[in-house]
Amino acid sequence: MRRVAKRPGAARLPRMAVAFGLGLCSFGVVLDASAQVLFTDDAPKSAGWQGRLEARFLNEFETETDGGDEFKAWRVALEGGGEAAVAEAFRVGLRAAYQHASYDFHLDNSPNLPPAYGGTELPRAPFGGINTIDVAPTASASIGGGVSLEAAVPIRWSGETGARRNGFAAGITGLLRWQALDTLALGAGVGVTSQLEGPAQVFPVVALDWRIAPSLDLRTQGSFVQGGQVVLVWGPAEAVRLTVSAGYERNRFRLDDNGDSQDRHGIGEISSVPVEVGVRIQLFERGYLDFRGGFGFAGRMRVENANGNQLYDEDYDAVPRLGLALSFPLGGGSRSRGSSGKGDGSDPHGAPWTPAPSVIDPDAPPALP
């Protein structure tokens, strides 16, 4: 056997808004492995400069591809960013992240090991350590009536350790955000990005922040990098809250020049739909510790040659995953969204500051995980 690794006259508005937001979210989650989707978190609004820093760790246990190959992986990431007002109705900001992912494939070197790509089995471990750097300058402008325009220029470099060829992808993302009610904000937009050895891609951008009840929130999380998640947060006390999330992750990266001549300087791609439950512990004002566990569904692994031609493309089984994240605020200024619900301490009338999750993908050139 082979082993390889959600006023008067507006009573129906909340329902309509939530249906709109969730419909877009659902559309994004079911895109196939070659597509992109971006979920953004609720934009911070403060009188001065304000930001955050987050460190994350994720372990994915061993899984098996349809071709019988087995692999496992772990990731560490550091993400930070902030924004400040440069005029009464105009803000600029910057987000940046670094992630290292390590993949471990298991081969038994049997005589039946395929000599080259072309089938459902891998001829060799296609990649090992993957480094991803994301930078995204951002800008937002209030145009009145609770409506704002937001834009970002996401830039990503992603490649295997030792990769020497181009690993850059860049694009532009635009979002129209509407504060429909004190407890409901939603947004929609579009993004376009280049991709390694492939055509530019256009993808939907979705934002939703709904306080369903004082102890229940539904929102999207992510930054201007592909990926992110829809999260339901519940808890009568702010000190400890439970979370349920579903999202999308995809990373496309440059391979190094070692190994098989077919995949030398080639392209690797990993995507999945993570579904997780977790607990969020408030350590201090706007500082959180998150524990999450669940499964990555609809996983897919792809390997291409240096020209972007397919060498290997297989689904893999649902993979168990465990992760933790530590986030804390940077800068001052109080955030206020005008919510009538209780907050997390940053503003007694504001929504909680929610750390963006994953810049993996975020090629959303979530976000890692």
User: Beta-carbon neighbour count of residue 293 at 10 Å?
Assistant: 14
Q: Contact 63/317 with Cβ under 8 angstroms?
A: yes
Nearest-angstrom CA–CA distance, 197 and 308 = 5
Grade residue 126 by pLDDT with cuts at 50, 70 and 90: very high
What does DSSP assign to residue 366? Answer: -
Rg of the Cα atoms in the chain = 21
Nearest-angstrom CA–CA distance, 367 and 369 = 7
Burial code (b: 16+ CB inside 10 Å, e: under 16) for 266-282 equals: bbbbbbbbbbbebebeb
pLDDT at 346 (0 to 100): 35
Between 172 and 7, the more confident residue is: 172
Q: Could you list the beta-strand ranges (E) of 88-224.
A: 90-106, 129-144, 147-152, 155-160, 168-181, 184-195, 198-213, 216-221
pLDDT at 223 (0 to 100): 59
Omega before 367 within 30 of 0, i.e. cis: yes
Grade residue 225 by pLDDT with cuts at 50, 70 and 90: low
pLDDT tens across 193-220, in order? 999 998 999 988 889 999 999 999 999 9
**C-alpha closest to that of 199 among 226, 227, 169:** 169
Residues 6+ apart with CB under 8 A from 303: 117, 122, 126, 255, 263, 266, 267, 268, 269, 310, 311, 312, 313
pLDDT at 329 (0 to 100): 92
Tell me: pLDDT of 127 over 50.
yes
What does DSSP assign to residue 360? Answer: S
Percent of the chain with pLDDT over 70: 75
- State in Å, rounded, how far the first CA of the chain is from the last one: 33
Q: What is the mean pLDDT of residues 337-358?
A: 35
Q: Which region holds residue 307: left if phi is over 0, alpha if psi is between -120 and 50, else beta?
A: alpha
| Phi, psi values for residue 288, rounded to 5° | -135, 150
Calculate the alpha carbon distances from 179 to 86, 107, 148 in Å: 22, 54, 9
Give all domains of the chain, ordered by start, each with its CATH number: 13-331 (2.40.160)
Q: Contact 246/219 with Cβ under 8 angstroms?
A: no
Calculate the alpha carbon distances from 185 to 6, 20, 111, 219 in Å: 10, 12, 59, 9
